[in-house]
Amino acid sequence: MNESISDPSLCASHTHPSSGASTNMIVRDLASQCVKCGLCLPHCPTYTTLKDENESPRGRIELLKALAEDHLALTPKVKTHLDQCLTCRACERVCPAKVEYGKLITKGRAMIKQHPQSPKIHSLTSTLLGYIVAHPKLLAALHWLLWLIEISKIRVITSKIHLPQLIGLGKLNQFLPTVSKPISFKSFYPAIGARQGSVGLFLGCFQKLTDPEIYTASLRVLTHLGYDVHIPKAQSCCAAIALHSGNTKQANELIEKNVNAFEKLFDAKVDYVVSLATGCGTTLKDYPDHIDAEKTQTGLHHSFATKIVDISRLVLRSTWPENLKLKNFEKKIALHSPCTLKNVWQTSDHAEQILKRIPGSEISLIQDPFCCGAAGTYMIDFTNISESLVDKIVDELKPMKVDILATSNIGCALHLQQTFKRYKLPIQVTHPIVILSNSIIF
C-alpha cells in the first residue's frame, strides 16, 4: 500500500484503571477531569432543547460524580437525566480539559446497572432488541421470519390492525424498513486486478435486516480497488447497545467474541478491519476502554482497535486503479455526517470527497450541528426529544429539493428514513459507498 490509512489521532488514547478498581472509582476519577467551564453547553443537543443544567454534560458529570461518591440517591428523575444523554460526544470534541466523556457516561451507566435500586433501564422494545442483536443465530432466525412476514403481506395486515402496538413493538415496526431476503457470505473474496492489500470486513448486526445493499456494495468497491476481503463467520454485534445500556457482562462477551474472530486474520497479514457503520467503528476502536486492565496487557485488544478503519476513509486514501471508471450520476445528494464521525473520528469530509469523484454528482452538506436524535435505541426510548432534533434537519432539507440523503451510520439512516416517511418526503436514504458502487462501470 502507498500510505498508512490508520491515523494515530483516530485511535483514542486508551487509559485503563488499575487492576481491581471499582466502577465507582473509575467514574469518580473521570468526572474529576471536568473543570466546570461550561464551554460544552451550547454544543449539547439535550441542553439546548430542554434548557436544564441536569441535561448538560456538566450537569450529568456532577450527577455521576455524586452517585459514585454515594452523595446522591438514584431516583428515577436522576436516572432519566442520565439516560437522556444521546452520547453524541459533541462535548468531548470541544472540551478544553479533554474530559473523556464517552468513557465516563458508559462507565456511569454500568455503575447504575450495578446499583441495587436501579430502575428498569429500557423500554420493552429496546430491551428485546438488545438481546436479539447479541445472539447471531436468533437474529438470523428473526431475519428469515420477518422476510416471510414481509413477502406474505402479513406485516401490512398486522400494521393496519395495530398489532405491533398492542404487543409493545409499535415503535420498532415504524423504524423497520422493508425486510430483504437474508444473504449469506463467503469467508473470502479475492481482489480484482492488482492487489493493494487485505482487509477484514465487520458486518455488524441490525444492518443485515435493514440495509443489506451496503454489503454487496462494499464488497464490490473493495475488491475493485484491489483488496482481498476476509469475513470471519464468528463475529457478532459490536456491543454498542449493550454498552449504552450499562450491560457490561454482555458487552464483554461480545467484545471477546469479535476480537477472537478477527485475531485469526492477523496471521494472514490483514491490514485493516473495515467498519461499514460509523457507530460500530467507534465502538470497535474503543474496545480497550471497555475491558479489564488485565486483558489489555496482552495487547490483543489494542492491536484490534488500531486496525479499525471506516470504509470511506479507506476508499478515499487508497490508490484507485486507472481502469476504474464511474458513470454519470445526475441526482441531488444531501450528505449527513453522523456524530460518531464528527465528534469521535473528528472528520466528516471523506464521504464528500468520494462522492465528488462521481461525474455529475451535485452534493449539499447538511449544516445542522446537532445530533439527528437516532443514537441507537434513543429514537425508540425518547421519541419526543429525538423527533425535535431530526425535525431541524427536515426543515433544512425541504428547500434543497434533494433526491438522496447519504449517511454512513445505520441508526441515523433508519431514523431519517422513518422521518421522511412521516413527512411524506420522497427522499431515498442510502450509504455513500452504495452510491459509489452503483456508479462503477463494469
CB proximity list for 309: less than 8 A, separation 6 or greater: 5, 6, 272, 273, 274, 275, 281
Q: Does domain 332-439 have CATH number 1.10.287?
A: no
| Residue that wins the pLDDT comparison between 31 and 137 | 31
Asked whether the predicted pLDDT for residue 15 surpasses 70, the reply is no
Class of domain 15-114: mainly alpha
Which cell goes with 410? 445505520
Which CATH number applies to 188-317? 3.40.50
Q: What is the pLDDT of residues 348-366, one digit of tens each?
A: 789 999 999 999 999 999 9
**Residue spans in the chain of domains classed CATH 3.40.50:** 188-317, 332-439
pLDDT at 397 over 60: yes
Strand 362-365 to 332-335 pairing: parallel
Selection from 367, 337, 359 nearest residue 432 by Cα: 337
Question: What value does the mean pLDDT take over residues 406-433?
Answer: 95
Q: Which helix (H) or strand (E) holds 333?
A: strand 332-335
Report residue 276: phi and psi, to 5°: -95, -20
Place 100 in a pLDDT band, splitting at 50, 70 and 90.
very high
In terms of DSSP bridges, do strands 227-230 and 197-202 run parallel, antiparallel, or are they unpaired?
Answer: parallel
Segments of the chain assigned to CATH 1.10.1060.10: 15-114
Task: Give the separation between CA 23 and CA 289, rounded to whole angstroms.
Answer: 12
pLDDT band per the 50, 70, 90 thresholds, residue 156: low
Question: What is the rounded CA–CA span in Å between residue 297 and residue 2?
Answer: 31
Distance (Å) of CA 171 to CA 23, 97, 379: 33, 39, 9
Share of the chain above pLDDT 90, in %: 66
* Nearest C-alpha neighbor of 111 from the set 35, 28, 14, 55: 28
Q: Is the distance from CB of 72 to CB of 112 less than 8 angstroms?
A: no
107 touches 23 (CB < 8 A): yes
* CB-count exposure of residue 253 (10 Å: 0-12, 13-18, 19+): middle
Measured CA to CA in angstroms, residue 409 lies from 266, 288, 312, 334, 339 at distances of: 26, 22, 12, 14, 9
Percentage of residues of the chain with pLDDT beyond 70: 86
> Is 90 exceeded by the pLDDT of residue 208?
no
Q: How would residue 12 be classed by pLDDT, with cut points 50, 70 and 90? A: very low
Q: Which of 329, 379, 381 is nearest to 355 (CA)?
A: 329
- Which among 80-94, 142-156, 267-281 has the top mean pLDDT? 80-94
- Enter the pTM of the model: 0.88
C-alpha cell at 8: 494515530
What's the pLDDT score for residue 67? 95
Contact 371, 86 (CB under 8 A): yes
